[in-house]
Structure 1
Amino acid sequence: MSAEPHPTLPPVRLPSDAELARDALGAPLFARAVRLARWAGPHTRVHTGGELAAEQLPEAAAALGLDPADEEGPVLASQAWRVAVDTGLVDVTEPDEAGDADGEEESGTAAPGEDLALVTGGAPGEVLDLWLAALETVLADAAVPDLDGLVDALDAGGEIDFDRLDWNPSREADFLDGVLANLYLLTASGRGAAEGPIPLPVLAASMVIPEDMGEPTDAVLEQVSDAMMRLDDQFRQLEPIGLVEFRPVDEALMAEADDEESAAAGSASGPAAGGIDDEDVSRYGLVRLTPLGLYGIRARMLEAGVAAPAVGELADKGADALLDAVSGYPEGAAQAEIEQWLAGREPRGAVAELLAAARGADEGGPLRRLRCQQALAPAGPEAEEAVRAVLDDPELGGLARVWLSEHGVADVPAPDEAMVFWLTVDTIAAQLAADGETAELPLLMRSLTEHHTGFFDQVWRVDHPATAYVLEAMGRMHPDKKAAKESRKAAFKARSRQG
């Protein structure tokens, strides 16, 4: 058995599809794409690839309520048009490559696409599919370097010299995917929602600094700073599609540096190195996944074959599937999943099903029983009959007695000594499987050994598959040196007994 917690992504709690669809329709970039799809018609002219003709960009900007004279208006219109085309909100007929009689390229045409009707008449899932397609377009754009760099990297033939640009499209896409995966994990673990947004340098450091590195070098900190500025540009592009809430890097902060080198040193000596206050941290950028963003990144993970659970998806599964899954969840998420599972079931039958699923001498058995005990905790008198039915079960009898006693049930039979020791081993094995070697576990071990005279003379004989494993852990963790030594001797006897 392993002392490490079950290796799985924490489950996320998502709003309903209807709520997420409303968020998608409210995302500024997606909303602009919808408006341009409705604007498209016989007057619309496009170039090869569906790009809106330059002379029509001011008109498109005006259709979006933007100032055509403002440089930003046509840029936002162009972005929204690209999303509209890529998602099928607009159908494009591209121009004939042969051109007209004078050799000039003819314009193609555009019209509202069939999928535009889904915006108002489709199911929430269909709206979300459109939004996911829009997200892919934005992610692809975010992985492209700035246009100035592209212009500088054009060779004599007008082709992009990728070596000169130092840009690898696949590498950039992988970097952004890795960033979003880390942000997803931080959010699912509670950082993004419970503890506030993630400082941009923290996210950049998670991509650059190896986990086993001690004090990062100046060169590594400079890489963190470069990654931070890269992320600042990318999150600025991702915010309008509703993926993130983002506070950019304070431009005045960058202006304070005399040159790029001092800017890198300034950011590296700041949040990457620690020691500054919260107000200063916010100047380096803050980011958090929105609920819609959490949904989007999870959908991409599922598409890639990554197991990314969501609370509530086990509601129609059996108790065996429930307990196996929540054994790898953090306690709060496990409780939420269990509550949803119980909500749709007849209490007495659900309790009996949970108890049956908790049995087993396999490695996962102790943690299943711990989660079963957690599931039974809020049950009322209707569970008593099913719980009493397992009082004589060697694996569940101790659990049953604990539940009955905690619920004030009379006439609970006292457990024999063998059951007490078996339950002790099972409980410690479950705690190790759930949380690893925590600081609280030695206190539990001390309490158990102090309340049972001759504990180590008897516990090694317990017929539980985790006996030796638990005793070895006690030998490492028990706060009393004498007890720790006795535990190691008992573990040796248990190993010998098990062959």
Structure 2
Amino acid sequence: MSAEPHPTLPPVRLHPDAELARDALVAPLFARAVRLARWAGPDTRVDVGGELVAAQLPEAAAALGLDATDAESAVYASQAWRVAVDTGLVDVTEPEEEPGEGADGVEGADAGEEASGTALPGEDLALVTSGAPGDVLDLWLAALDSVLADAAVPDLDDLVDALDAGGEIDFDQLDWNPRREADFLDGVLANLYLLTVSEGAAADRPVPLPVLAASMVMPDGMGEPTDAVLEQVSDAMMRLDDQFRQLEPIGLVEFRPVDEELLAEADDERIASGAAAGRDDADEDVSRYGMVRLTPLGLYGVRARMLEAGVEVPAVGDLADKGADVLLDAVSSYPESAAEAEIEAWLAGREVPEAVAELLDAARGDDEGAPLRRLRCQQALAPAGPEAEPAVRAVLDDPELGGLARVWLAERGVADVPAPDGAMVFWLTVDTIAAQLAADGETEELPLLMATLTAHHTGFFEQVWRVEHPATAYVLEAMGRLHPDKKAAKEARKAAFKARSRRP
């Protein structure tokens, strides 16, 4: 998979392997492939490439419980057989000679009979019933690779139109590059994955097909799309409509195709622009343009392919066996809800007193990322009960952690918490704002936090610029821009200048 890595992909919440394996086994196309693998036997005949000979397709369709006389059933049987072969559920021995030819390449005495190979159940078929969940998922991933390869091939009508006089495909006329098509589909799946796991995204909410198409076509920051771009979005959308129809039976996505009536009544510009931004227009049902959602199995599959391509795609629980230093560094770049989920998984297998002590130790530091580590540490300590108190009390005199410890104890109503001195109050204020800036940037809530933290301290800006914190000047400059009180903002700018002047 050749998707571009995203620098801050949040961790995905994967379902347990056993549940995913069950989903794989009931995916229609994979289930049909397993049934055909069990059906294969000494009388099964295949041609060059391991495909079932045409005469056996009705029998294969019947084995799947389909109407053996229906042409569409033969297509289903052929697809399922190809997946069975590609995954190793079936072992094929291809014909040694071209059909109707002898060993010397000329028509032989038995040329009336086409040469054929044989097929038998493969060794991997046993893994379906006796293997571990991971074995089943490996088979499903192989099936997914097979289906994705098929989905990247142009449809039959385009192939027929591109045949030259000699019956060969004219790839220049077809304008089809296999690598380019595979990369396009991988990019689409990577974008769908990102839209699914991003902060604020609802994993159970499908993505409008035009939004996905536009993510592949429209340049970042583009305003009103040009007619040429709209046409490209429309073309991409229709390609995806065809491809997701092929990908749904393997269990990768849940898909609602583009409304056939819409295609009949709308031109390319309306198809592309009517829902291009996923607008919830009361006069337009966006679902008519197609909707797609990765299934839990699909999330697992796309992540596996991205990992294989060298993309860093974390999952909740990846850090469960790592140290607290690794945990806090990693979750510092996660959205808040994702960080909470990862911390919860990390705490689940540890004794509280030891875990709290380890977290506090890892939160120390004067590097640029330290304030956000302390914020994540504070979040990690939030659900801890009385058993954490000894470890928290042990850092009351620590200049970097003493303020955090006092906040934790005060929130639990502990009566004998020593009051912090002024230096600790100012240091904690700078550290808190630095952490919020690092976590979320200049949010709408940050000015209120600044006002709250400074309101109870007379002469705050006359003293805070002296705080020995690496982020003092940076925080004061931000307060000079964002503080809701104009007088306080002016004082913050003066204090920032002083803080900059005193640092070497």
TM > 0.5: yes
Classify 1:237/1:278 alpha carbon distance in 2 versus 1 (closer, same or farther; 3 Å).
farther
Work out whether residues 323 and 357 of structure 1, in 8 Å CA contact, stay in contact via their aligned partners in 2.
yes
Match of 2:155 among 146, 153, 158: 146
* In the alignment, structure 1 residue 137 sits paired with structure 2 residue 146: yes
Letter in 1 for 2:334: Y
Classify 1:317/1:461 alpha carbon distance in 2 versus 1 (closer, same or farther; 3 Å).
same
Aligned to 1:346: 351
CA distance in 1, matches of 2:147, 2:200: 25
Cα deviations across residues 339-396 of structure 1 (Å, max 9, x unaligned)? 1211211111111111111111111111111111001111111111100000010110
Cα deviations across residues 65-124 of structure 1 (Å, max 9, x unaligned)? 111222210111111111000000000101113555335551111100000000000000
Cα distance, 1:453 vs structure 2: 1.9
Cα deviations across residues 19-48 of structure 1 (Å, max 9, x unaligned)? 000000010000000001011111111111
- SS of the counterpart of 1:173? helix
* In the alignment, structure 1 residue 185 sits paired with structure 2 residue 194: yes
Letter in 1 for 2:146: T
- SS of the counterpart of 2:285? helix
Match of 2:275 among 266, 271, 274: 271
CA RMSD of aligned residues (A): 1.7
Cα distance, 1:190 vs structure 2: 5.4
Work out whether residues 199 and 335 of structure 2, in 8 Å CA contact, stay in contact via their aligned partners in 1.
no
- SS of the counterpart of 1:202? helix
Aligned to 1:3: none
* In the alignment, structure 1 residue 239 sits paired with structure 2 residue 239: no
Work out whether residues 391 and 400 of structure 1, in 8 Å CA contact, stay in contact via their aligned partners in 2.
yes
CA distance in 2, matches of 1:199, 1:13: 22
Aligned to 1:399: 404
* In the alignment, structure 1 residue 214 sits paired with structure 2 residue 218: no
Work out whether residues 204 and 293 of structure 2, in 8 Å CA contact, stay in contact via their aligned partners in 1.
no
CA distance in 1, matches of 2:284, 2:201: 18
Cα distance, 1:235 vs structure 2: 0.5
Alignment of structure 1 residues 323-362 onto 2, 5 Å: 323-362=328-367
Work out whether residues 359 and 369 of structure 1, in 8 Å CA contact, stay in contact via their aligned partners in 2.
yes
- SS of the counterpart of 1:109? strand
Classify 1:425/1:279 alpha carbon distance in 2 versus 1 (closer, same or farther; 3 Å).
same
Match of 2:444 among 439, 446, 455: 439
Classify 1:14/1:279 alpha carbon distance in 2 versus 1 (closer, same or farther; 3 Å).
farther
Cα distance, 1:192 vs structure 2: 5.8
Work out whether residues 27 and 250 of structure 2, in 8 Å CA contact, stay in contact via their aligned partners in 1.
yes
Cα deviations across residues 282-303 of structure 1 (Å, max 9, x unaligned)? 1111110000000000111111
CA distance in 2, matches of 1:77, 1:54: 11
Alignment of structure 1 residues 233-382 onto 2, 5 Å: 233-257=242-266, 262=267, 264-272=268-276, 274=279, 276-277=281-282, 280-382=285-387
Work out whether residues 271 and 281 of structure 1, in 8 Å CA contact, stay in contact via their aligned partners in 2.
yes
Work out whether residues 259 and 289 of structure 2, in 8 Å CA contact, stay in contact via their aligned partners in 1.
yes
30-39 vs 331-340, which moves further: 331-340
Letter in 1 for 2:472: T
Work out whether residues 191 and 198 of structure 1, in 8 Å CA contact, stay in contact via their aligned partners in 2.
no
Q: In the comparison of the two structures, how many residue pairs are matched?
A: 489
Structure 1 gaps, min length 5? 1-5
TM-score normalised by L of structure 1:
0.95
86-95 vs 443-452, which moves further: 443-452
Letter in 2 for 1:23: D
Aligned to 1:45: 45
Classify 1:445/1:198 alpha carbon distance in 2 versus 1 (closer, same or farther; 3 Å).
same
- SS of the counterpart of 1:25? helix
**Identical-residue share of aligned pairs (%):** 83
